[in-house]
């Protein structure tokens, strides 16, 4: 037997024996008090019981932090959901269909504190052709919008849709939200694109969750569907 392997094998055998024979500690209770271990919070030596207590306190502290994080996330999510609901109700109250794109952009800026919002819609009914919200969209931009099955978040890399924002040069990060019929992650063709821009490079980060952005895209898509229907009497 290799002498180098012996200590490891002995440790494994000892650990296995103690696990299989817990009564050992009942017969030798004095050992529990005499064993000295290094503390997890410094160089001092502590008893086995103290070390176990430290480990338990650390575990409890970790659980408390996780609970606080869950409570904080729950509160933030509830606030965002309330804002989306309020914004959706405002869109439903817009009677002039031509004002919907403006109402969507203005509502996002107000409710979600987004500095710049741009929007373009294509495939609209005849009476809405030539409106500002339909202009300046290339076929490449339309194809790109269709290719997105979830909101894109990241740095301003000079995408064409950035030019739809009021001050594109000031944008450091952005989110691109596809407008389409049905779920935002479907394969259906896009009929529009929402652009959210911020001067904060971390506002729309590539690692952020996009669940609420998807809900915003779906609500906007549902509202803008009215632009694709010929008005009554035309």
Mean pLDDT for all residues in the chain: 85
pLDDT confidence band for 4 (50 / 70 / 90): very low
Q: How far apart are CA 144 and CA 161, in angstroms?
A: 10
Q: Which CATH architecture has domain 94-228?
A: 2-Layer Sandwich (3.30)
Q: CB atoms < 10 A from the CB of 122, how many? A: 21
CA-closest candidate to residue 79, choices 56, 127, 111, 37: 111
pTM: 0.69
The number of angstroms, rounded, from the C-alpha of 66 to the middle of its chain's C-alpha atoms is: 18
pLDDT at 19 over 90: no
Domain residue limits, the chain: 5-58, 94-228
């Amino acid at each position: 037997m290799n002498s180098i392997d012996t200590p490891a094998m002995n440790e494994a055998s000892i650990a296995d024996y103690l696990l299989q024979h817990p009564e050992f500690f009942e017969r030798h209770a004095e050992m529990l008090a005499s064993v000295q271990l290094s503390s997890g919070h410094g160089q001092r030596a502590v008893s086995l019981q103290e070390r176990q207590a430290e480990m338990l306190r650390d575990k409890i502290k970790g659980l408390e932090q996780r609970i606080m994080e869950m409570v904080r996330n729950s509160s933030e999510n509830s606030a965002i959901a309330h804002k989306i609901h309020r914004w959706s109700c405002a869109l439903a109250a817009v009677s002039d269909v031509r004002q919907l794109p403006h109402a969507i952009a203005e509502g996002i800026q107000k409710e979600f504190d987004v500095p710049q919002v741009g929007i373009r819609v294509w495939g609209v009914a005849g009476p809405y052709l030539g409106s500002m919200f339909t202009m300046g969209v290339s076929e490449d931009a339309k194809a790109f919008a269709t290719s997105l099955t979830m909101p894109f978040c990241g740095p301003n890399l000079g995408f064409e849709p950035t030019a739809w924002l009021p001050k594109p040069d000031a944008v450091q990060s952005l989110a691109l939200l596809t407008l389409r019929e049905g779920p935002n992650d479907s394969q259906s063709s896009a009929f529009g694109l929402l652009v959210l821009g911020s001067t904060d490079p971390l506002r729309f980060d590539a690692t952020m969750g996009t669940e609420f952005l998807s809900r915003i895209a779906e609500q906007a898509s549902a509202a803008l569907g009215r632009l694709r229907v010929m008005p009554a009497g035309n």
